[in-house]
Amino acid sequence: MNSASGTDGLRARARRAVRTELAELALEMFVEHGFDETTVDEIARAAGLTKRSFFRYFPSKEDAVFGGIDALGEQVVEDLRAQPADQPPWACLHHVLRRWAEKIHSSQRDLTSLRLIETTQSLRARLHQKREQWRQDVADVLRERSGLDAFTADLLTNAATAALDTASREWLRGDADRMESIDRAFEQLAPAFAGGDPKA
């Protein structure tokens, strides 16, 4: 490795570290004071940065919440692509999404982010926009790995998203186990896909 690439690598790691710390600080402030009530100026001051510096790390206040979720979406897509080619699409979605939901559930920061998003109207609207791209990416992977037509790939992807959303709402309502709710949702939907598409 030459010195230039080594320096670039150090800079990239330093940038990621600052970005992570800034996102964690912002999340703490959002939870304590409310997302809409917390300004970028306040976050920047608390971090010892200028407002302009904040925007070097995040294009908007919302992105400070969604940074980790964006990375998670990319990892889920890669995990789906890496599954055995003979695994049925619905089983593949259940397996991969359950595993990632379990990882999120074990991370207090991710859980806090999800609770904030699901209880903040402006963030829910942003999540809807991001999910449109995520759904398209997942549907594309299903078509690549299983040879599904666009309609069926979209149907499976949207049904899986609905299963996750329903499990999340059940979890937010009280004492339901998130993983059990995910399994229940996928299992209740499975007969419809098994009957309509032998690959699913």
Domain enclosing residue 191, as ranges: 60-195
| Cα–Cα distance for residue pair 170/155, rounded to 1 Å | 22
Give the pTM.
Answer: 0.69
Q: Is the dihedral of CA 167, 170, 172, 177 positive or negative?
A: negative
Residues 2 and 94 in one domain: no
Residues 50 and 66 in one domain: no
CA atoms within 13 A on the CB side of 133: 9
| Cα–Cα distance for residue pair 90/197, rounded to 1 Å | 10
* Domain total in the chain: 2
Predicted local confidence at residue 170, as pLDDT: 85
CATH of the domain at 33: 1.10.10.60
| Cα–Cα distance for residue pair 124/118, rounded to 1 Å | 6
Compute CA 171 distance to the chain's CA centroid, rounded to the nearest angstrom. Answer: 17
Predicted local confidence at residue 198, as pLDDT: 40
Helix ranges (H only) for 34-175 are 40-47, 51-57, 61-81, 89-105, 108-118, 121-146, 150-173
- Identify the segments of the chain with pLDDT beneath 50: 196, 198, 200
Residues 2 and 81 in one domain: no
Predicted local confidence at residue 6, as pLDDT: 64
In this structure, what DSSP letter does residue 36 have?
A: T
Q: Which residue is listed with tokens 């990239």?
A: 12
